[in-house]
Structure 1
Amino acid sequence: MSDLPLSFFERLPKTDLHVHLDGSLRTETILELAESQGIELPATDVPGLRKAIHAGENTGSLVKYLEAFAVTLKVMQTREALQRVAYELAEDAAAEGVRYMEVRYAPLLHTEQGLRLTEVVETVLRGLHDAETDHGIESKLILCGIRNISPQSSLEMAELVVAYKGRGVVGFDLAGAEYDYPAKDHHEAFSLVRRNNINVTIHAGEAYGPASIAQALHDCGAHRIGHGCRLREDGDLLHYVVDHRIPLECCPSSNVQTNAIEALDTHPMRLYLNLGARVTVNTDNRLITDTTVSKELWLAHTQVGLTLGDIKQCILNGFKSAFLPFHEKRNYLRAISDQLEAFHADGSIDEDALRTARQQAAEAR
């Protein structure tokens, strides 16, 4: 049977649990914001800017990949810019069938022009809320500490997470350069978050081996693992993750860009799925990785070798793994399971069944 087309995957209802706000801008928006703010960029047109930030290109390492954020962050230092970028991210996600999204970023990186941390959080929440009103996509925030800045700054971000618990912020993450910056150094931030019964996800097993994943789980109390592509190097830990239903936030194309894996067809997500791991598929950075959730699912199908049944399981895993109350996840799972029944392995879609399932889901909400 031939591969299913990208357009098929764009119709599927789905999540994006691992997407960075500052890596998911529209290129045109960066240019417009830079012009209005008088900011100099490495290029003044769309093709040139995309080339300058290596959009979709293999950068060879995580550190090199992260250099692109120096460009995007330049234009994300005002309330107007932050609200626009948040709104457009949710708008773009909704257009390709994303129903629920968790957007992550580090508010401390958006204060260069004097914005207070609380303003940075509330402005992004406002943009996401406006997009939900206009496009029907539900979005929440995950706030990040940065490994290579300081444990004290991570503690500040954790305090923000506590302050905005129940107000749109659903979790805490540790991002940034992984090698030489162990997560356990930020133990005060993790301790504060966990004492307040808040969700934790940590970038681990991307630029460093499985020891980083073990530390994230056992020393820092992570409930999900960001990336985790090197988990296969430790079979015992891999089975621990499977047995304890710890979700893996897989971002296949990004992992190729950062050289965490050699090529898509060598990505371990199929192994993880076959062992029963709770694999989710995500974008990481829509702009810098030049991708969408639909594209990542399509690539998982065409290059990693996942069947439609596998893809549906990944989608359901996304809703199961969301940082939402149990009853809300259960409602999502019922609705999405019904809708997925309308999608068939031969590429056909039962439009009547899909329409009915969507109507029932809308009425249930």
Structure 2
Amino acid sequence: MPHNAPAAGPIPDGPLPAVSEELLRALPKTDLHCHLDGSLRLGTILELAEEHGVHLPADTPEGLARAIHQGELCADLEDYLKAFDVTLSVLQTEEALYRAAYELALDCAAENVRYLEVRYAPVLHTRRGLKPTTIVDAVLDGLRAAKRETGIKSSVIICGIRHIDPVTSLRLAELAVAFKNRGVVGYDLAGAEEGYPSKDHAAAFQLILANNVNVTIHAGEAYGPESIAQAVHYCGAHRIGHGVRLREDGDLLNYVNDHRLPLEMCPSSNVQTRSVADMKSHPLKFYFDFGLRVTVNTDNRLITDTTSTKELWIAHREMGFTLEDLVTLVVQGFKSAFMPFREKSDLLKQVNREIAATLTRFAAGPRAVDAGTQRSAT
């Protein structure tokens, strides 16, 4: 049995369907690394700017897409992060945050993402005087509204920012602790990586770990494996965001593998930020074959112009993932969720049953797929 074979066995007996975008869209999925401020709809940005008198670099969806380099190569991670100046300019009111979270969850649900973890830094949404607690409540309310409509499960990860004063990170950690069991499931450190080590924010992580809150940290994206080592050994990370440079340190790679620390991989984003040269050189398949617990995520649905379905399709088309591999990737997403064990176990059982039923339906041919689509829409 391969290292990464899913324990519950969602692959049914009998013939299997060919991999297609339609099949991947139908499979239940997770998105564990998704930034709220990088995942708005273009039309929403334009409408919010008009409502609140915000000047944008363009006044059409096409022009705005070009202005934020949507889906285009950037010079580096810091160049990529400049697009957030545009999105953050319209995310400074309670109503805007609610709408952004609500629409993001709806968009995820439309491609059968069953569990979504949304991350953002409340400190970046205070320009118009919003209180941090109001910011968190607005996002949670938007996610709850989407759940009532679609059933999608979602949670929030509060982000500290590497290049902002560590005292601010501590205040954001206090916020995450205050909202534990109220929709916030983790704490992250995001932002420019090179020159801003995570160990400088140790006080925030001490508070987070002392209160048994989950930790994920952006590391090994724009800096080497020593950034990942800091995240794990200084800050107690339970997951690593990106981690593409982990392969440069075989000993650390084995440590991460032995301790089953999931990697939140975002292939399209990694190419766009030039963290990797191209899809062929992306380490996702190497990590997967080696046995690491890897997950596939969007990072920023708007700025990278992607979806969970598209990322899985890229893994198949560009990296050689088979259908069985893709199913394992999907299952590992659910296994890696910041979710209570018993709730996660129940969800995994349900997901495995649905995967098996979906594969059987697609293997039976177009009529069965059409019938299944009609049933899921009713």
Distance in 1, matches of 2:363 and 2:68, equals 38
Structure 2 CA distance, aligned partners of 1:346 and 1:206?
Answer: 39
Offset at residue 348 of structure 1 (A) = 2.7
Deviation at 1:349? 6.0
Structure 1 residues 234 and 346, CA, compared in 2 at 3 Å: closer, same or farther?
A: farther
Higher relative contact order (CA 8 A, sep 6+): 2
Conserved in 2, the CA contact under 8 Å of 1:4 and 1:347? no
- Name 1:214's counterpart in structure 2: 229
Other structure's SS at 1:124 match: helix
Counterpart in 1 of 2:280?
265
Deviates more, 1:334-343 or 1:169-178: 334-343
**Partner Cα distance (1:96, 1:72) in 2:** 23
TM-score (norm 1): 0.94
SS at match of 1:342: helix
Partner of 2:36: 21
Q: TM-score, normalised by structure 2?
A: 0.91
Q: Percent identity?
A: 59
1:35-184 residue pairs with structure 2 within 5 A?
35-184=50-199
Residue of structure 2 equivalent to 1:328: 343
Structure 1 segments of 4+ aligned residues over 2 angstroms from their partners? 1-5, 342-352
Residue 301 (structure 2) pairs with residue 282 (structure 1): no
1:312 to 307, 327, 333: 327
309, 315, 318: which one pairs with 1:303? Answer: 318
Instruction: Answer whether contact 2:109 2:150 (CA < 8 A) is retained.
Output: yes
Aligned residues: 356
Question: In structure 2, the residue corresponding to 1:89 is in which secondary structure?
Answer: helix
Which letter maps to 1:208?
Y
Please state if 1:252 is matched with 2:252: no
Change (3 A) 1:187 1:44: same
Post-superposition offset of 1:2: 11
CA drift of 1:176 comes to 0.1
State the 1:304 CA deviation.
1.1
Structure 2, gaps ≥5 residues long: 1-15
CA distance in 2, matches of 1:58, 1:68: 12
In 2: Cα distance, 1:265 partner to 1:305 partner: 10
* CA deviation profile, 1:69-119 (whole Å, cap 9, x unmatched): 000000000011000000000000000010000000000100100100000
Give the aligned residue type for 2:283: P
Equivalent AA in structure 2 for residue 126 of structure 1: D
CA distance in 1 between partners of 2:164 and 2:364 (Å): 48
Q: Distance in 2 between matches of 1:273 and 1:242?
A: 10
Q: Which amino acid aligns with 1:257?
A: Q
Comparing 66-75 with 339-348, greater Cα deviation is found at 339-348
Instruction: Quote the Cα distance in structure 2 between the aligned partners of 1:208 and 1:347.
Output: 42
Does the 8 A contact of 2:115 with 2:154 survive in 1? yes
Q: Distance in 2 between matches of 1:91 and 1:341?
A: 25
Separation in 2, partners of 1:277, 1:345: 28
TM-superposed deviation, 1:160: 0.2
Match of 2:219 in 1: 204
CA RMSD of aligned residues (A): 1.9
Using the TM superposition, give the Cα deviation of residue 347 of structure 1 relative to its aligned residue in structure 2, in angstroms: 5.5
The question of whether the paired residues in 1 share the 8 Å contact of 2:17 and 2:362 is answered with no
Instruction: Structure 1: give runs of 5+ residues left out of the alignment.
Output: 360-365
Give the Å deviation of 1:150: 1.2
Q: Could you tell me how far 1:6 is from its partner in structure 2? A: 1.5
Letter in 1 for 2:356: E
